[in-house]
Amino acid sequence: MFCYCRLLTAPLRSTSTALTNKRSYNSEDREYLHKSIVPTMHYQKSLPRLPVPKLEDTIKRYLAAQRPLLDDDQFSTTEKLARDFENGVGKQMHEELVAQDKRNKHTSYISAPWFDMYLSARDSVVLNFNPFMSFNPDPKTEYNNQLVRATNMVASAVRFMKTLRAGLLEPEVFHLNPAKSDTDSFKKLIRWVPSSLSWYGAFMVNAYPLDMSQYFRLFNATRIPKQGKDELFTDPKGRHLLVMRGGNMYVFDVIDRDGNLVKPAEIQAHLKHILSDPTPAAAHPLGLLTSENRDTWARLREKLLATGNGEVLGLVDSALFCLCLDDESMNDHIHISHNMLHGDGTNRWYDKSFSIIMAKCGNAAINFEHSWGDGVAVLRFQNEVFKDSTENPLVNPGSQPAAVDSASAVRRLQFNLDAELENGVIKAKENFHAAVSKLTIDAMQFMKGGKEQLKKKKLSPDAIAQLAFQMGFLRQYGQTVATYESCSTAAFRHGRTETIRPATIHTQRCAQAFVQQPGKHSVEQLIGMLSECSKYHGQLTKEAAMAQGFDRHLFAMKYLANSKGQALHSLYQDPAYAAINHNILSTSTLTSPAVNLGGFAPVVPDGFGVGYGVHDEWIGCNVSSYPERNVHEFLQCVHKSLEDIFSVLEGKPLS
C-alpha cells in the first residue's frame, strides 16, 4: 500500500515547500535553516478534524468506481450487496464509527487503523513498503563529490532537525492567495492569534495549514520488529549519526553536548575516516535482517539481544538517521532506481525512519520506512535539505577536514553473532536476492508536451497522465483494471491519505475510442472525451483531498468490525471488493525542484508501480514490474497514448 501522496490540488502554493522562499537566513547562524515568524506547530491545535463521509456518499462513490471494472451481471451483484450493506449492517457500523470518532477528538478515525495496518503487515518492508526519492544533482558540479555532498547534507539535515525542534521551522501551509497570506505582515499578525483559533485566521485569507504531527518521527526513530505487530521507537536524546559503508556500521556525534551542530569540518573529517577505513566489507552484514519477513526478523532480533547486542542495537535505533555511503557509482536512471529502492541489501538499515543514500559519484536519494508517515514530511525535509546544502553549503571542494582524532570520535559497531544469527543473515541474503531479482524497472520521458500545453487546453495535467496509463494498459492487455492514486489528507488533523480512483467510466470510454476505435470519432468528439475525463478526475481529486473518497471509510468500518470480532458483511466478501483492492496500477505523482525521480515496487505480483511527474514541457514515468507484466511494452503503450492525445489536441485526427 504505497503512497507518496498527491498534495491537495493545483494550483496551490506552499510556503514551506516552495524552494524560492525568502528566508531570514543568517550566515553567522549555523544552527538553524531559518527562523519562522510563526511557530512551527502554531496551527496544529486548530486544524479541522478529518470528516467521516456520509454512508450514502461512500456507497455511491464505491459503485461508480466499480462500474468500469465489472460486466453487467457482476455489477448487478455488487450493487445489490452494496445497497443491502447501506440499508442494514453498514448503517450500524457507520454509526459506531462516528460515535468512536466523537470519543477521540484528539486524532482522526483513520490514524490508529492505518498505523495498525502498516505495523501488522508481516511482509518485508523492502519492495512492499519503502519507496525512494532521489535528489537532483547539486547545480555546482564540483560539489557532487561524495565526501563534500555527504558532509553538506548531514549538516543541513541536522539544521533542519534543530529548526523543527526549536519551533522555528516555517509551518506547512498551502496558499491559494499567497499575495495575502504568504507575507511577513500576515505572519506577524497570525502569530498572536491563539493556536486554538489560528487555523480560522489562515482560512480567512485562503491559506490552508497542514498537519505536521508526523514530523517528530523523522529523527531518532526506527521501526522495531515484534511478533505479530511491530512498534515505532523514538529517542530524541540521541546525538549521533549512523553511517553504513560496506555493510559495516559506524556512529559519531553530529550534535555536541550543548546541543549545537558539530563543526562541519569535523563531520567531514569523520566521514573521510569512514570512507578510508580499510576494514573489509562485513562478512555477515546485519542490515540484511531488516529486509526479512517481520516475524523472522523479530525472532532474530530477540536472539541478538540475548547474545549481548542490546547496547549497539540501541545506538542503531536511536541514531538521528542513517547515512549509507555506497562504494558504487551510478550509470543511469535505472541503475539509480534499483540502488536507491533496494540496493544489494548489505549497506542499508531499512527500518530507520529514513536513510540518505550517497553513491560514490555523489548521486543521492532518500529511502524511507512508510509506517510512521506519508510522503509529505519526507518531501518537505528533502526540499529543505536540497535547498540548504546547495545554496548555503558549509564545506566546499577546497575545504580541509578538521585535524581531529576521528579514530576515537568514530566508533565502528561490532556485534556478537552465533551460528544461528550468521545463518539468519545468509538466509536473509538468499530471500532478498530472490525477491529483488524479479523486479524490473524502466523509465520513459515524453518530450512532446507537458503541463503548459495541457493547461492552455483547460485540461488537468494529472488527469491526462492517468488517462495515458489507462489507455496504455488497454492497448497492452485489453482491460480496465483497479487503479490507485494516493492523495494526502494532511489538511486535517492526523489525516493520512485517501485514494483517488482514476479508472472511471469516462476514462474507459475515452481509452476505447482512442485505442480500439481510432477512426470512428472526430477530433472534436475526442477532445470532448478528454475534457470529460479531466473534469471528472478533477472532481475525484478534490473529493479525495477533502477526505470524501470511499476507500478509507470502508476500510475503517471493516477494521472496526474485525476489532469487535463481528462477522463481516457480504460486501467485504464480494470478489469485486477484493478485485478493486488488488491494485494492478499503483500510481503516485511527484514534482519538486529537489527531486530527480522517485519510485516504488508494484503492490501486487501482477501489477505496475508507476511513479510519474508532469513537468512544464514534458512528462516522465519511472515504472516497476514483476515477471507477470512487461514494463518495457507498457511504457511504449503509454508513450503511444500520449502521442495520440497530444496529436488530437493539435487538431490532427487519429490514424
State the Cα torsion 385-390-394-398 to the nearest 10°. 140
Strand partners, 298: none
Q: Is 231 helix (H, G, I), strand (E, B) or coil?
A: strand
Nearest in space to 365 (alpha carbons), one of 67, 150, 57, 623: 150
Q: Map grid coordinates 501488522 to a residue.
A: 120
Q: How far is CA 79 from the centre of its chain?
A: 34
DSSP 255: B
Give me the catalytic one of 34, 370, 553, 639. 370
Cα–Cα dist 620/633, whole Å: 16
Cα–Cα dist 632/623, whole Å: 9
Q: Please name the residues in contact with 254: beta carbons below 8 A apart, sequence gap of 6 or more.
A: 154, 158, 239, 240, 241, 261, 262, 267, 320
Backbone angles phi, psi at 6, to 5 degrees: -70, 130
> Residue 22, class by beta-carbon neighbours within 10 Å (0-12 exposed, 13-18 middle, 19+ buried)?
exposed
- The b-or-e profile of 343-373 (16+ CB within 10 A means b, else e) is bbbbbbbbbbbbbbbbbebbbbbbbbbbbbb
Cα–Cα dist 291/294, whole Å: 8
The grid coordinates of residue 625 equal 514490474
DSSP for 418-466, written as a single string: -HHHHHHHHHHHHHHHHHHTT-EEEEEEE-S--HHHHHHTT--HHHHHH
Inter-residue contact 309 to 416 (CB < 8 Å): yes
Cis peptide bond upstream of 131, omega within 30: no
Is 506 one of the annotated active-site residues of the chain?
A: no
Cα–Cα dist 132/147, whole Å: 21
Cα–Cα dist 510/463, whole Å: 12
Nearest in space to 267 (alpha carbons), one of 134, 275, 29, 138: 275
Give the containing element (helix H, strand E) for 596. Answer: strand 595-599
Inter-residue contact 593 to 616 (CB < 8 Å): no
The residues carrying an active-site annotation are 370
